[in-house]
């Protein structure tokens, strides 16, 4: 299982998650995005003006985004070093 964290959840980050979410060997564990909070990102993930509504149920609660039964932690750190990537469950490489 590959655990993936996304730094930057703009249009491309959201489309990458949508595309790879159902891959059997990939699990999304954390999102860091400074432009909006978890609720705003969840809304933009679920409703895309070009690609339409995503078929998965998406909700936000506090600092998490929940897709179906999977909870993904969320942060809004401007400096990438301020995000606890290891604590989010992913192993990071330089």
Structural domains for the chain: 2-82 (3.40.50.720)
Q: What is the pLDDT of residue 44?
A: 97
Q: Is the pLDDT of residue 90 over 60?
A: yes
Q: Which residues contact 24 (CB under 8 A, 6 or more apart)?
A: none
CB–CB of 45/38 below 8 Å?
no
pLDDT tens for 16-49 read 999 999 999 999 999 999 999 999 999 999 999 9
Region 63-67: mean pLDDT is: 98
Structure confidence at residue 62 as a pLDDT band (50, 70, 90)? very high
Q: How much of the chain is helix, strand and coil, in % rounded to 5?
A: 25, 35, 45
Which tops the pLDDT comparison, 86 or 12? Answer: 12
pTM > 0.85: yes
């Amino acid at each position: 299982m590959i655990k993936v964290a996304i730094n930057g959840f703009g249009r491309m980050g959201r489309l990458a998650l949508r595309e790879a979410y159902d891959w059997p060997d990939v699990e999304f564990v954390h999102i860091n995005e400074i432009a909006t909070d978890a609720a705003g990102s969840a809304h933009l993930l679920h409703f895309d003006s070009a690609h339409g509504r995503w078929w998965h149920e998406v909700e936000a609660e506090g600092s998490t985004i929940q897709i179906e039964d999977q909870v993904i932690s969320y942060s809004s750190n401007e400096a990438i070093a301020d995000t606890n990537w290891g604590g989010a469950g992913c192993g990071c490489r330089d």
